[in-house]
Chains A and B, each alone.
Chain A
Amino acid sequence: MKLFSSFIKELKLASRGFYFYVELFMAVIILAVFLLLVPDNFNNQRTEYIYFDMPRQTSELFLQEILQEDTDGKAAPVKVEVDKQEKDAMLYTTSDQKIYVLTSREDVIYMADKEKKIAAVVKLDSDNAINYEYYLQGYESDKFKNLLKILHVESNETIEAAMNNQDVKPLADNTLVLSDKENMMPSVLVFNGALMGLFIIAAYIFLDRKEGVIMAYAVTPSPVWQYLMSKVGVILVTTILSSFLVIIPVMGTQPDYLLLLLLLVTTAFFSSSLGLLIASFYKNVTQAFGAIYGFMLLMILPNIAYFIPSWNPDYLKLIPTYPMLEGFKSVLLGNNDWLYVLTISGGFLLVGAILFSISNRRYKKTLLG
C-alpha cells in the first residue's frame, strides 16, 4: 500500500514535470520521422555518369545492352541540374543503377566534380579497342581501384560466364528479415527506453535532493527501497508508453508483444537501477553529468556494431546494450524465440536487482548527501 501510494505520488510528480513529456515527445517525433520520412527499405541504386566517346553506331551497341536491363525498356531524356547548370542526358534505370549518359567529356568531369560520384568516359583508341577512363573521388578503397584495373582484362562475356558458374546457396531457409526501417527499431527501443531511463531517474533523484524531500521520507516508517522502487515504476511506465507509441504503428502485429513487454520491463529496470546507483555518488546533476554521459556513450557503442556488422569486437558483447539490441531484434522479428528472450530478460532482471540492492544500501547511508 505504501509502495503504491509512493508510486501514485511519483506519477503525479512526473506528469507535472518536464522529463515525463521529454520522453513521450521524443517518441512522437521518432514516430513521425519513421512514418513520414523513412522508407521501408533504403534505396540501393547507384548513380553513374557515362559519356561514350566513340562513333554513334558503336555507342548504340553499348546502349542496347544497357537498355536490356532497363526496368521499363526505355531511355528517358532528362536535364540534370547541378549548381544552376543544366546538363542534357539520357537516363537508364535498372534495378540497382541509375545511369546518366551525358553528351560530352566536360559534362562527365563536371558531374564527377560537383556530384561527388564516380564517372566514366568510354572511348575507342587508335586501334579501335575500347578504353575506360574513370573519374574517382579519392576516398575509394585500394580494393575497389584494383578491381577497376583488372575489370577489363577479360571480356564481359567471360566474366559473366564465370559468375554464372558460381553456385551460391543460403545456409538456412525461411530466415525472417526486418526491413531497413524495422531494423532501426531495436536501436530506438534501446535509446528511448534504456538510455533515457538511466538519465531521467537520475534527474528525478537530483530534483528530490534539491527539494530535500528525500529527508522527509527518511523519517517515516516506509523503507527506502519503496521510495526508489516507486521511481523505477514511473520509468517503467514511461518506457512502455513511449516504446509502444512507436512500435505499434510502425511494426503492426509482427512483434511478440508479450515478450516485448517483458524485455522492456527488465531492461528498463536494469537501466534505472544503474541510474540510481550512479546518482547515489553525486549531489546534483551537474556533478553527475560526466559519469552519466560516459555511461551513455559506452551504451551506444553496440549500436555501431549493430549497423556495421563488420566491426563487432568481442568486448562489445559485454556491454549491456548489445544483448538488449539482439533481444529486441528477436522480439520484433516475431520468431517466437521465447527461450532466448527469457534468458536475456532474466539476466537483466538479475543484474538490475543486484544494482538496485546496492543503490538501496547507498541511499540508506547517504540520505543527507
Chain B
Amino acid sequence: MLQLALILLMIGLGLYGLATSRHLIKSIIFLNVVEASVILFFLRLFYISEGGVPILPSLGAEPVDPIPQALMITTIVIGASVTALALMMSIKIYHQYGTLDWKILLNKEDNQ
C-alpha cells in the first residue's frame, strides 16, 4: 500500500515537473519519469511475493500474471520512440532558435 502511494507520488511529481519546468530537455526527462512510474505502478500492482517468472515450467512457485508484463513491453518501446523523436526535435529547435526555454520559444512564436 505504501509502495503504491509512493509510486503515485512519483507520477504526481512527474506531472508537476512537466507543468512547471521551463527547459525543453527537463520536460522530456519528466515525461520519462512519468512513464517509468507508470511501468512501476503496473508491475507493483500484480506483484506476488515469492512468485515465479511466467515461464513454463514454473518450478513449483506460482507464476506472476504475464499480462501486465506484456503490456509494459509495449509501453517501453513506445516511450523509447517518443523520447528519441522528442530529443531530435529539441536539437532541431535549438539549431533554429538558439534556445530551449519554453517562455522564450513561445514569445518568438507569438511575434512571427
Q: Tell whether A and B belong to one assembly.
A: no
Give the interface of B toward A (CB within 8 A).
Answer: none
